[in-house]
Amino acid sequence: MEVIQDKTALREQLLEWRRHDEHVAIVPTMGNLHAGHVSLVELAREHAERVVVTVFVNPTQFAEGEDFEDYPRTLERDKRRLQRVNTDMIFVPTVETLYPFGLQNATSVTVPGLTENFCGSFRPGHFDGVTTVVARLFALVQPDVAVFGQKDYQQQLVIRRMVEDLGLPINIITAPTVREEDGLAMSSRNAYLSDEERAMAPKIHEVLESAGEALQSGKRNFEELENAASGQLSDTGFEVEYVAIRRALDLSVPNRDCDELVLLVAVRLGKARLIDNIVVTI
Same domain membership, residue 155 and residue 58 = yes
Give the separation between CA 83 and CA 95, rounded to whole angstroms.
24
Check: CB of residue 174 under 8 Å from CB of residue 70.
no
Chain-centroid distance, C-alpha 159: 10
pLDDT of residue 64: 87
Give the separation between CA 122 and CA 253, rounded to whole angstroms.
19
Residue 46 DSSP SS3: coil
In a domain, 209, yes or no: yes
In a domain, 250, yes or no: yes
pLDDT of residue 20: 97
Same domain membership, residue 49 and residue 137 = yes
Q: Does residue 37 carry a pLDDT above 90?
A: yes
Q: Measuring CA to CA, which residue among 193, 66, 189 is closest to residue 123?
A: 66
pLDDT in tens, 94-146: 999 999 999 999 999 999 999 999 999 999 999 999 999 999 999 999 999 99
* Contacts of 187 by beta carbon, 8 Å cutoff, 6+ apart: 34, 36, 151, 274, 275
Q: Measuring CA to CA, which residue among 219, 208, 191, 217 is closest to residue 244?
A: 208
Domain C-terminal end among 141, 175, 209? 175
Q: Which range marks the domain in which residue 41 is found?
A: 2-175
Average pLDDT for the chain: 97
The pTM assigned to this predicted structure is 0.96
Same domain membership, residue 8 and residue 144 = yes
Query: How many independent structural domains does the chain possess?
Result: 2
Angle at 264 (CA atoms; ends 195, 205), nearest 5 degrees: 40
pLDDT in tens, 51-94: 999 999 999 999 888 999 999 999 999 999 999 999 999 999 99
pLDDT of residue 2: 94
Same domain membership, residue 110 and residue 239 = no
Check: CB of residue 25 under 8 Å from CB of residue 45.
yes
In a domain, 266, yes or no: yes
pLDDT in tens, 218-270: 999 999 999 999 999 999 999 999 999 999 999 999 998 999 999 999 999 99
Angle at 158 (CA atoms; ends 66, 243), nearest 5 degrees: 65
23 given a catalytic annotation: no
Check: CB of residue 33 under 8 Å from CB of residue 81.
yes
Check: CB of residue 149 under 8 Å from CB of residue 177.
yes
Same domain membership, residue 192 and residue 168 = no
In a domain, 123, yes or no: yes
Same domain membership, residue 82 and residue 61 = yes
Q: How far is CA 119 from CA 101, 125, 271, in A?
A: 28, 10, 17
In a domain, 181, yes or no: no
Same domain membership, residue 82 and residue 30 = yes
Give the separation between CA 25 and CA 15, rounded to whole angstroms.
14
pLDDT in tens, 154-184: 999 999 999 999 999 999 999 999 999 999 9
Q: What is the CATH number of the domain that holds 167?
A: 3.40.50.620
Other Cβ atoms closer than 10 A to 70 = 9
Other Cβ atoms closer than 10 A to 202 = 16
Q: What is the CATH number of the domain that holds 214?
A: 3.30.1300.10
Q: Does residue 272 carry a pLDDT above 90?
A: yes
* Active-site option among 20, 23, 34, 37: 37
